[in-house]
Structure 1
Amino acid sequence: MTAVVVTGAGIAVDGLRGPADLLQPYRRHEDGFDPETGLRGRQFRHRDRASRLASRAATTALRDSGLLGEDGSYRGESLRTATVVSTNTGNLDSICSFLDTIAEESASLLPPTGLPNTSSNVSAGWVAIDHGLRAPNLTLSNGPTSGLDALQWARRLIRHGRADAVVVTGVEPDNRYVRKLLDDNGETHWPDAAAAVVLESAGAARHRRARVRLVLGEYRRAGTARAAASAVTGEAVATLAEPGIRPGEVLDLSAWAGRQSGALGVLQCAAASARIDGGEGSALAVSCGLPGAAAAAMAFAGPGAEQP
């Protein structure tokens, strides 16, 4: 089968400077991304917070992959570049604020420029509009597995000939509506966070002489996180998961990014790209083991590894 590789990665996480910061316990850096200044600008007018975060991360990933020119123009084949976004609370604030306005005042006071933000696919739409990407465009809101599921859906788009490249973005904003939802579920608050990776077929990456950061490996879904991890064959040098999923050391991004975060799987992929960074080694990402929710696992390896 066609090998699918990561050629670019970028993040827009409150206080972090780039994917390498994902490999350390979370802390805000003074020179890190600041949502209060980094989400401003004329190009972001009328966009919801999640879409602005997603656009920042996606643009950074595309630039990292070499697919953006110095003037910001897209160098790839726009008709063959798809967009996949994973989020569980992305436009929750837009929907709730609309409902608040209707309940407390009148539907006639709803801002027409805000209506597109009530669409669950709005962030994916803005990423595509930013760069003129015209292949399939979709959003996954599938609970804790969303990010890894998005990577798998993107791989399918490439393998089935629907796209040569896919921008995969995971995003979860921090706002009062999200905080209330997390409080109701007994979960800790997360910071504004988005991560994006650029996936391409190995052949397309070779053709344009792109640097391959890592290769997508085996993907499995199961009833529990431990079962999903066990179903992925091979030994991973690094495990990106909650503690207890596998023996040994793990990098638990969910401790700050959230167990229910739709951005988690893409953050894990960005972290793996920073750890492997075109060299040798392997990593295993696992979604969180929430009661009653399915789990997913995906392996990553260096470009020299043979992958399906």
Structure 2
Amino acid sequence: MTAPVITGWSAVSPYGIGAEVLAEGLRAQRATVAPVDTTRWRVPTSRAHLVPDFDPRKALGKKGTRSMDRVTGLAVAAVGSLLDQPGASRETETGERAALVLGTTTGSAASMMDFTRSSLEGERPYDVDPAVMPNAVMNCAAGQCGIWYGIKGPNTTLAGGRAAGLLSLNYATRLLATGRADTVLCAAAEEYSPARYWLEKHSRGAEAPGVPLGEGAAVLVVQPRENVTEARPALAEVLAVRTRVALAGQAREALAACVRSALDAAEAKPEEAWAAVPGDAPGLLGHLEREVLAEACGGAAVDRVPALSRIGDVSAASGTFQIAMVLATAATDPVAAGRLAVVTSADRDGSVACAVLRLEAPSC
């Protein structure tokens, strides 16, 4: 099987809903960080990169959204914006031969905590709202995407923290290679919530206390090259995705080894890289990631695509957003065609991933 290709993408980001909105925001270098409404979000004074005015019921309509949580709404809205694009084909991107892979950290931490709290605070442990229970399951967002749009092939949720987006891309290529699907919608989503705020505050440590959280969802269309159409041209070829586990104190070595392994698997050289895109993990890990890529591919490649931190710490959605930002930036640079994009992710729990793409055509 030839290497699969990415033929489309979309996103719900702190710039708004849709690929064009994200691309325009990056070109204009518009800031997205803003003070958080402390009354609404029940957090101390802080700043975050939120999707503007996002509410699942407003974005998707009232039918089927009464109990929908935020991360599910973001994922469903992102997939919907992809399928509504002019070049989309519902015949091939939904149905029996279409698959969905969604990267996440834990699903919705807010839904899990709220449901558990209601059981503890109620008069009896089973005095809970049954309509809310599905939200507390990690694969709720992926399941709802399949239900909303009739995606009847394999439906998979991968929990991988910051590496989840690239892990999902790797899983998507395996679904295609084994004939389990003809098209894979490869997505990742992360929400902002009080639960996530407090989890991050107490688990980050002292090295990155003030990095603002972000939220959003991004989705890619991944297909075999033979399925490419004029309406959905190939944007990038997925040459390789490789992973590593970084033990304590070995993040730099694991990152460097992962990049070398991915480039070797792609039969590519570091100097071919048009862009090298780190995941900007908060604190020291993010700096190490940027240094490793600069050493491997050069500082110019690292600086070519806007930093992911422009939209905040989007955690599990990082890798997929990085690829979306690569495609958005390459669309305005004719030099990018035929060159490589090296995309990395590193999670504080030790997961490391690297994807090597060969860019082919403008993305929007």
TM range (shorter): 0.7 to 0.9
Letter in 2 for 1:231: S
User: Do 1:20 and 1:275's aligned partners in 2 also have CA atoms closer than 8 Å?
Assistant: no
TM-score where L is the length of structure 1: 0.86
Name the CA distance, whole Å, in 1 between partners of 2:98 and 2:5: 14
Q: Structure 1: which 5+ residue stretches go unaligned? A: 69-73
CA radius of gyration, larger in: 2
Task: Name the CA shift for 1:192/1:145 in 2 (closer, same or farther; >3 Å).
Answer: closer
3-state secondary structure, aligned to 2:163: helix
1:253 aligns with 2:253: no
Post-superposition offset of 1:240: 0.9
- In the other structure, the counterpart of 2:99 is 82
Match of 1:265 among 319, 328, 341: 319
Alignment of 1:47-86 (within 5 A): 47-64=68-85, 66-68=87-89, 74-76=90-92, 78-86=95-103
- In the other structure, the counterpart of 2:163 is 145
3-state secondary structure, aligned to 2:31: coil
1:132 aligns with 2:153: no
- In the other structure, the counterpart of 2:31 is 27
CA RMSD between the two structures: 2.6
- In the other structure, the counterpart of 1:71 is none
Question: What is the count of residue pairs matched by the alignment?
Answer: 295
Match of 1:183 among 201, 204, 207: 201
Letter in 1 for 2:78: A
Cα deviation, 1:40-78, whole Å, max 9, x if unaligned, reads: 22143221110100011111223337225xxxxx33251
Alignment of 1:262-301 (within 5 A): 262-277=316-331, 280=337, 281-288=339-346, 290=348, 292-301=349-358
Letter in 1 for 2:192: D
User: Do 1:5 and 1:201's aligned partners in 2 also have CA atoms closer than 8 Å?
Assistant: yes
Name the CA distance, whole Å, in 1 between partners of 2:71 and 2:96: 25
Post-superposition offset of 1:258: 2.5
3-state secondary structure, aligned to 1:2: coil
User: Do 1:84 and 1:138's aligned partners in 2 also have CA atoms closer than 8 Å?
Assistant: yes
Cα deviation, 1:264-307, whole Å, max 9, x if unaligned, reads: 111111112212349603211100263x5020100111238xxx
Name the CA distance, whole Å, in 2 between partners of 1:230 and 1:180: 36
Match of 1:121 among 133, 139, 143: 139
Name the CA distance, whole Å, in 2 between partners of 1:111 and 1:50: 19
Cα deviation, 1:73-95, whole Å, max 9, x if unaligned, reads: x3325100000000104321111
Q: Structure 2: which 5+ residue stretches go unaligned? A: 35-49, 247-253, 264-268, 281-289
User: Do 1:55 and 1:130's aligned partners in 2 also have CA atoms closer than 8 Å?
Assistant: yes
Letter in 1 for 2:116: L
- In the other structure, the counterpart of 1:239 is 276
TM-score where L is the length of structure 2: 0.74
Match of 1:219 among 241, 246, 255: 241
- The percentage of aligned residue pairs carrying the same residue is 24
User: Do 2:6 and 2:222's aligned partners in 1 also have CA atoms closer than 8 Å?
Assistant: yes
